[in-house]
Structure formats: structure tokens, C-alpha cells
Structure 1
Amino acid sequence: MRLGFALPDLSAPPPLPDAPPPDPALLEAARAEGEAEGHARGYAQGLAEGIAQQRAAQEAAIGMSLAALATALEQAMDHAEAVAVRCAEALAGTLFAAADAAFAARIERDGLVEATVTALLPALTPPREATLRVAPALAEVIVARLPGCVTVKADAALAPGEARLEWPDGARIVSAAARREAVRAALAAAGFGGEDA
């Protein structure tokens, strides 16, 4: 039987001495520094997220405001167009009424019916008896202006501005309806219209 002895390994480094316990002040300082760093990082991240959310909310609000503004402008344009149409129609009605009144006044002032009869006199030659029917309010005015071959009669069925010239084989009518239609056509050609025109 052989006996052996365990010899120390002289090439191994000597054992390290036991480390001293950590300094509590250093531990507290490291903990405080870590907390401060974590707080700063969290604050910065939260601030960035808050700013991003606020920007998104502002952009959404601006988008909604722009959409509402576009709708309001479109409605305003529609309203303005409707007002313009109503104004044009009212103006057309006013112009038509003014033309109607001016035509009736012109009959008394300028003898429009007289001019119509005078233009027809060649058709009444050789002289033949003719009868001119006019509104009662104009009968006396026209009698004073027409030649003797035309008999003027007041006709309550005729409005001022209307007349009917009759002779044995013909007749000629000065029509208020035709005149009004001509005025309507002139107003329409000028860009005015409407039911009241």
C-alpha cells in the first residue's frame, strides 16, 4: 500500500482577502442616482407622448374646423345664389311693372294708338268707315287726335294699352298680352326672369 500526500499547488494565486461590506452611503447615492435617472427618463418620455397626443388632438380639431368652415362657405354661397336669384326676379318684376306703366302713359302722351291707326290708314283707302275700340279712360284723348274717318268707341273690356281697330273687311288688335310677352322676352334676353316678370 502506498501513501500519498496532497501537496499545495504553489503555482495557484494566493486567495483574495474577503471584500469589505459595501458602504451604505455609496449604496444610497447609487439608488438616488438611479431613481433620479429613471424619473428624468420617464418624465421626458411622458412629456413627448403628451406633446404628440396634444398635437394629434389639435390637428384633429383644426381638421374639423376646416371642414365646418368649408361647409359654412358652401352654404353661404348657396344662400347668396338664392338671394341673387330672388333679387333678379324682384328686379325683373319691377322693370316689367315700370314698362307696363310707361307704356300706358306713352299712349296718352305720344298717341301710340294714334300712330297705329295712322299706319293702317293706307289699308283703309279708298276711305271706308273704321271703328277703334279703346279703354274708356283713353277714349276722349284719342278722339281728339284721330281723323274723322275713324269712329272711337269706349270698350270697358279693353285695358289701357289695348285697342281694336275694325273695318268692314278686316281688323287690327293692339294686344296688352302680346306687349307683355315682348317685355318678358326682352327681360329674359337681358338675364332677368321669374314667375312675376
Structure 2
Amino acid sequence: MKLENVRYLLVLLLTGCMALAATGLMAQPTDTLTTEQLLQRKGASYTALLRPSRYLALDVTPALGGFRRYRFFEGDEVHFKARGQKYREQLYAVSDTAFTILLANEVMNRDEPVTFRLDEVQRIYIHRRIPFVTAAGTMLPIAGVVYFAASVINSGQVDPTLLPVTGILALSGGIFHQLSNPRYRINKNHRLRVLRTY
């Protein structure tokens, strides 16, 4: 009786090892990546550390608070308004006085480079993730509408005490959305320039 259990366990163990070997889950030697390859995997801002390159810098000096610089490297997504239109594309190239993005040409079925001078840019839109604030910018207005609708459905009439609560929830959601997604008009306090990494 014990011998049969041992045989059964031995067959089960061998079957499991063969299954692991067949699926490749056993330890296999892998090539070690170089520092350059690791930095390229991280993204465009890390690739700029490998070689000197130009990048767009938005210097923001608000009336209240301190100086802030937003950097846009080649490969980063840039959201801006120029020539009366909004663009949200990847930055393709940066020169001394201009930058280039790729726009899809549906007639030719390919991407074509479009160059913008720095003085043509009217606004820059920043999208940043602030923990809890970014989520609250979306959730609070929804919560206000759901709270109002649930109260109206349950009671069958509009209670005047609901309006301030719903309004505060919606207003605070709008404020949090503006904090997470600021818009900067290019002027003397918000300057767009080209800088170089060394």
C-alpha cells in the first residue's frame, strides 16, 4: 500500500517537472542588458541622458508660488494650440527655433512631418497625475449627480438642501480637474524655449 503511494507521487513529480521544462518556466540563462538599453526602455527623457540632444522647455513663473519647468523630449507627447488648432502628438524633432511633430495624412496613408516655430505656439496643455486629486476631478462631479438623482428618485421631489451639496461636489471636481490639467498661455511669465542636454 505504501509502495503504490510512493510510485504515484514519483510519477506525479516527474510529470510536473516535464511540464515545467516544456513550458519554459525553468531557469534559463538570459543576456544582460547594457546601461544604454535599460535607459532606452525607460523612455524618451532617459534616452536623452545617453547623448546630447535638444528638448522643449516650458518655464512657468506663476504670480503665486515658485518657478516650474516642464520638459518635453523627442518621443514625448505634446499637447498644444498653434495656428488656431489643437494638436496632441508625439514630439518628432527639436531644432533651435522650432519643433516637429508627425501628423497622419489619410490621402497618402502615411505620417508627414509638420514644423512649428516657437512663436506660433499659443498655449501648452499639461496633463499630470496627482494622486487622489486627478481621480477626484472625475469622481466628485459624478458623485454629485448620482447623489442628486438618488435623492430625487427616492423622495419623488427636489429637496432645496440638495442643491448646495451637489453644487459643491461638482465645483470641487472642476477645481481638481484644473489642478491636474493646467493650461498655460505662452507669454512673458510662461516661456517656451529650446534647451540642450549635456
Question: Normalization by structure 1: what TM-score?
Answer: 0.23
Question: Which structure has the larger Rg over C-alpha atoms?
Answer: 1
Structure (1/2) with the larger strand percentage: 2
Structure (1/2) with the larger helix percentage: 1
